[in-house]
Amino acid sequence: MNNDLTNKETAHKDIATPNRTKEILKKYGFNFKKSLGQNFLIDTNVLRNIVDAANLDETSGAIEIGPGIGALTEQLAKRVDQVVAFEIDQRLLPVLKDTLSPYDNVQIIHSDVLKADINEAIKAHFKDGQDLMVVANLPYYVTTPILMKLLELKLPIRGIVVMIQAEVAERIAAKPGTKDYGSLSIAAQYYAEAEKVLTVPASVFVPQPRVDSAVLRLTIRQKPAVEVIDEQYFFKVFHASFANRRKTILNNLVHNLASKSQKAEIEQALAEADIDPKRRGETLSIEEFAKLSDSLYKILQP
C-alpha cells in the first residue's frame, strides 16, 4: 500500500480535513499532548477566515506559533511570501516536513516561543520593512504570556490574528465599565486595537477543547494608546487597581501599590487626576489610568 503523504494526489488535499488529519496522525502514531495545548483545526473554512482576518497578500510574511501538523501553516503558505513557524514539540518536526513538502516558503523553528529570539528570527527570515503578521491557533495554556511577549517586544509587525479561548478574547477586547474589562484589556489595548472577529464551535478541532474559542485581531498602534512618564509604573498602577475587583480604587492602591501610611498621598494623586476615590478600577478608561499613573509617580516616587 502506498502510504506516502507526499505523493501528488494527497499532497494537494488540504491538511485540515477530518480524514486527512486522521490519516496523518495514524501514519505517525501521534498522540496528542494535553499539556502542550494540542487541539488541531480540521475545518478549512475556519482556517480561511483566520487568514482573511489578517489581510495578507503575496508580499506579506507570516509568523506562526505552534504549527501542529501544518493545517494553518499550509493556508498561510498558499497566501504569503514567507512563513516562519515556532513549534515546541519535536515529534511534529518529521510530520511537518512531510505535510508541508509541497511548499518551499515555510521555515519551521524548533523552539518554545516563550524562549525564542523572535526579533532574530524576523531579521533572519524576512525582508527589511516587509508587511508582517503573527497568525496562530495558540496553545491555550500559554495564551496570555505569548500575547504579552509579542506585544512587549514591540516587534516590527502590523498585527496579530489568533484563535484563543473566547473568554480571553472577550477580556482583551473589553471596554471600560463592562464585566470583562480588566488589567489584560488595558495591557493589550495599550499596544494595539483589539477586536473579536469570529466565534468558533469546539467541533472544528481534534480533540475538541472544553472551552469556546474565538478569533482575536490585534492591530498594533503606531504609538501606545497613551503617553506616560514611566511605562512599568503605569502597568503596576492598573494591575494594583484591579487586584480586588470589589474594592474601590483608593483601597486597591493603598493595599497593592503603596502602604497605609501613604493614603493621603494617594488621595492627593486621585484628586489631581480628577478621579473619585470611591470608583472601582473597571470604570476607569486607559486615559484616566495614564493620568493617575503620572500623578502617583510624581507624588510617590522620590
Annotated binding site for S-adenosyl-L-methionine: 39, 41, 66, 87, 112, 137
Give, for 154, the enclosing helix (H) or strand (E). none
DSSP 8-class letter at 33: -
Count helices and strands in the chain by DSSP H and E runs: 13, 9
For ligand SAM, the closer CB: 165 or 185: 165
Burial class (CB in 10 A: 0-12, 13-18, 19+), 144: middle
Rounded-to-integer distance, Cα 231 and Cα 135, Å: 27
Q: With CB under 6 A as the contact rule, which of the stretches 87-95, 99-107, 126-134, 261-269 interacts with ligand SAM?
A: 87-95
> E-assigned strands of 191-248?
192-200, 205-206, 213-220
Q: Output the nine-digit C-alpha cell for 194.
A: 483589539
Q: Output the nine-digit C-alpha cell for 133.
A: 503578521
Contact status: 162 vs ligand SAM (CB under 6 A): no
Using CB under 6 A as the criterion, what x/- string covers residues 132-151 for binding ligand SAM? -----x-x--x---------
- Are β-strands 106-110 and 82-87 bridged in parallel, bridged antiparallel, or unpaired? parallel
Q: Output the nine-digit C-alpha cell for 34.
A: 494535553
- Using CB under 6 A, which of 20, 24, 30, 40 touches ligand SAM? 40
- Using CB under 6 A, which of 43, 74, 89, 282 touches ligand SAM? 89
- Using CB under 6 A, which of 20, 56, 79, 86 touches ligand SAM? 86
- Which residues are bridge partners to 207 per DSSP? none
For ligand SAM, the closer CB: 137 or 252: 137
Number of residues that bind ligand SAM (CB under 6 A): 23
CB of 45 to ligand SAM, least distance (A): 13
For ligand SAM, the closer CB: 67 or 281: 67
Closest CA to 155 of 118, 112, 111, 108: 118
CB of 129 to ligand SAM, least distance (A): 26
Q: Output the nine-digit C-alpha cell for 158.
A: 502590523
- Residue of minimal CB distance from ligand SAM? 66
Q: Please say whether the beta carbons of 163 and 137 come within 8 A.
A: yes
Q: With CB under 6 A as the contact rule, which of the stretches 111-119, 164-172, 224-232, 234-242 interacts with ligand SAM?
A: 111-119
What residues are designated binding site? 39, 41, 66, 87, 112, 137
* Residue numbers at the binding site for ligand SAM (CB under 6 A): 36-41, 65-68, 71-72, 86-89, 92, 112-114, 137, 139, 142
